[in-house]
Amino acid sequence: MGRAPCCEKVGLRRGRWTTEEDNLLLSYIQANGEGSWRALPKNAGLLRCGKSCRLRWINYLKTDVKRGNISSEEEDLIIKLHASLGNKWSLIAGHLPGRTDNEIKNYWNSHLSRKNIAQNTTKCRTSSTKKTRKPRKTSSLPSKQSNINPSSDGLITDPNGTSPLILSTNTENEQVQNIGKMVENDLATASSSMDDSNEEKEHECDWDWDFEIDKCMVGLGLGFEGENFDGDVLSWPWESPTTHVGLDMKKQDEMIAWLMS
DNA sequence: AAAAAATCCAACCGCTGTCCA
DNA sequence: CTGGACAGCGGTTGGATTTTT
């Protein structure tokens, strides 16, 4: 027997929300608070599914939702976080104040993924001749996410792994920039350990933040995963509970040795 | 000016994890 | 332990809008 539907769909409205519906939902939540989404539509006098109400609230009506274009700082951060976290839109959104997972997902799909593909095509074509990497063994999740502090809902932590990078005293832009800087610092440190005399390795380990990191040379010292040009999904064969956004130099060395073997 | 194609994005769908009886 | 209810997440869809031909 299948699971019961989340709501009785017969007679429910679908599609775009009207201003009247928005007002009903807004005033109900302002009076009664969030939650109980299943019961909310009936109580609020809305002919909508509870899930639809929740989505409308989270993505549009909530007061802290930031509207307008994604700034270059935000875009930069999205790229970096996506390289680290993959399609964990809610986690990425957690580092972008006022942005929703849906908005970031849409922005990625419509702006950045295309860019990503283009960059890969032009910059990384030579990588197709490289040795085949080992296929992933497990799920699509990154093999480790030690940069995620489980007690603080996915906030990136400092190298000591304790304090969240997002500080409440910072402005939103400062928060975005801080996170970006931390990721850049990690990568710069990782880069400094590379032997840049090897041309192929230099190409493969281009640590400038551009789009090839996500697909071409993913995870060295960062512990995330990616795909090679044949579409094989990879993950890295280690676990390290002590690293943050990525630095574990011993593991990096092991990774380099493994790649070059 | 009109048609076609491309792009954008709000909303939907189905699945998973958690809680609780 | 099991199963239902619910919240939340990520993938996908479809219609509105914009751009191109």
**Residue A87 contacts residue A81 (beta carbons within 8 Å):** no
Fold adopted by A11-63 = Arc Repressor Mutant, subunit A (1.10.10)
Residue A65 vs residue A222, higher pLDDT: A65
Q: Does domain A68-120 have CATH number 1.10.10.60?
A: yes
Strand C positions closer than 7 A to protein CB:
4-12, 15-16
- Compute the average pLDDT of residues A110-114: 73
CA of A36 to C1' of C7 (A): 9
Q: Which residue is nearest to nucleotide B15 (CA to C1')?
A: A3
Q: How far apart are CA A21 and CA A31, in angstroms?
A: 15
Q: How far apart are CA A175 and CA A248, in angstroms?
A: 25
Q: Which residue is nearest to nucleotide C13 (CA to C1')?
A: A15
List, for residues A140-193, the tens digit of each pLDDT value. 222 222 333 333 333 333 333 333 333 333 454 555 565 556 555 544 444 443
Per-residue confidence at A72, pLDDT binned at 50, 70, 90? confident
Q: What are the backbone dihedrals phi and psi of residue A59, each rounded to the nearest 5 degrees, phi first?
A: -90, -15
What pLDDT, on the 0 to 100 scale, is given for residue A173? 57
Q: Which residues of A161-199 are buried (b: 16+ CB within 10 A; e: fewer)?
A: eeebbbeeeeebeebbbbbbebbbebbebbbeebeeeee
CA of A104 to C1' of C10 (A): 12
Closest-lying nucleotide for A93 based on CA to C1':
C9
Residue ranges, comma separated, of all CATH 1.10.10.60 domains in chain A are: 11-63, 68-120
CA of A163 to C1' of B13 (A): 38
List, for residues A18-70, the tens digit of each pLDDT value. 888 888 888 888 888 887 888 888 888 888 888 889 888 888 888 777 777 88
- Compute the average pLDDT of residues A245-252: 38
Protein residue ranges contacting nucleic strand C, Cβ under 7 Å: A 1, 3-4, 6, 15-16, 35-39, 50-51, 54, 87-91, 101-102, 105-106, 109
What pLDDT, on the 0 to 100 scale, is given for residue A146? 30
Q: Which residues contact A157 (CB under 8 A, 6 or more apart)?
A: A147, A149, A163, A164, A165, A244
Instruction: Give yes or no for residue A202 having a pLDDT over 50.
Output: no
List, for residues A122-148, the tens digit of each pLDDT value. 433 322 222 222 222 222 222 222 333
Closest-lying nucleotide for A40 based on CA to C1':
C6
Q: What is the pTM of this model?
A: 0.57
CA of A156 to C1' of B18 (A): 24
Instruction: Give yes or no for residue A195 having a pLDDT over 60.
Output: no
Give percent of chain A with pLDDT exceeding 90. Answer: 0
Q: Which residues of A57-92 are buried (b: 16+ CB within 10 A; e: fewer)?
A: beebbeeeeeeeebeebbbbbbbbbbbbbbebbebb
